[in-house]
């Protein structure tokens, strides 16, 4: 029990005194009418990024990939209301046509929280099993 209390105390201390790490977020940036650029904070992009265009009724209009410059060209008169970019590695961003730049990183907060909860549950389970073994051997 003492080990479990110490674990939680140390974990809370680590969570309170850590500094955030900024991995690369994905962004959609309009270049001109009908052309967007999708890139990470460092300016790089993934050639595997999937681009999906939607109309105002959330109906998919078109789907495609970025070109060799990290750009995607679309027909500006096709009724596109918003564009979603998904790099297939957990980074997604939604851009509403007409906005300047979108830096959303949908879901990353919940992924981090879920990861922390899984780690806590796993470590708690390990300590619980150790406690049971100690009781049986006594």
The model's pLDDT over 98-138, given as tens digits with 9 standing for 90+, comes to 887 765 555 555 666 767 777 777 777 777 777 666 655 55
The model's pLDDT over 58-80, given as tens digits with 9 standing for 90+, comes to 999 999 999 999 999 999 899 99
User: Are 104 and 85 spatial neighbours (Cβ–Cβ below 8 Å)?
Assistant: no
Q: For 10-26, what is the mean pLDDT?
A: 67
- Angle at CA 11, nearest 5°, toward 6 and 17? 125
Question: Which band of pLDDT confidence, cut at 50, 70 and 90, is reported for residue 36?
Answer: very high
* Position with higher pLDDT, 38 vs 128: 38
pLDDT value of residue 39: 92
Considering Cα of 12, then 16, then 18, then 22, what sign does the dihedral take? positive
Starting at the edge strand found earlier in the chain, the sheet holding 82-86 runs 60-65, 50-54, 82-86, 92-96
User: Are 95 and 105 spatial neighbours (Cβ–Cβ below 8 Å)?
Assistant: no
SS3 content of the chain, % helix, strand, coil (to 5): 35, 30, 40
Task: Return the percentage of the chain with pLDDT > 90, whole number.
Answer: 36
């Amino acid at each position: 029990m003492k080990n479990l209390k110490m674990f939680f105390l140390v974990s809370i201390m680590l969570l309170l005194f850590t500094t955030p790490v900024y991995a690369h977020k994905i962004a959609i940036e309009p270049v001109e009418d009908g052309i967007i650029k999708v890139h990470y904070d460092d300016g790089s992009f993934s050639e595997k990024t999937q681009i999906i265009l939607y109309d105002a009724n959330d109906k998919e209009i078109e789907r495609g990939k970025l070109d060799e410059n990290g750009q995607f060209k679309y027909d500006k008169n096709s009724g596109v209301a918003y564009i979603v970019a998904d790099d297939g590695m957990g980074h997604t961003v939604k851009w509403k046509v007409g906005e300047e730049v979108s830096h959303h990183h949908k879901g990353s907060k919940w992924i981090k929280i879920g990861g922390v909860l899984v780690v806590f549950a796993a470590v708690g389970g390990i300590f619980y099993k150790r406690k049971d073994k100690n009781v049986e051997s006594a």
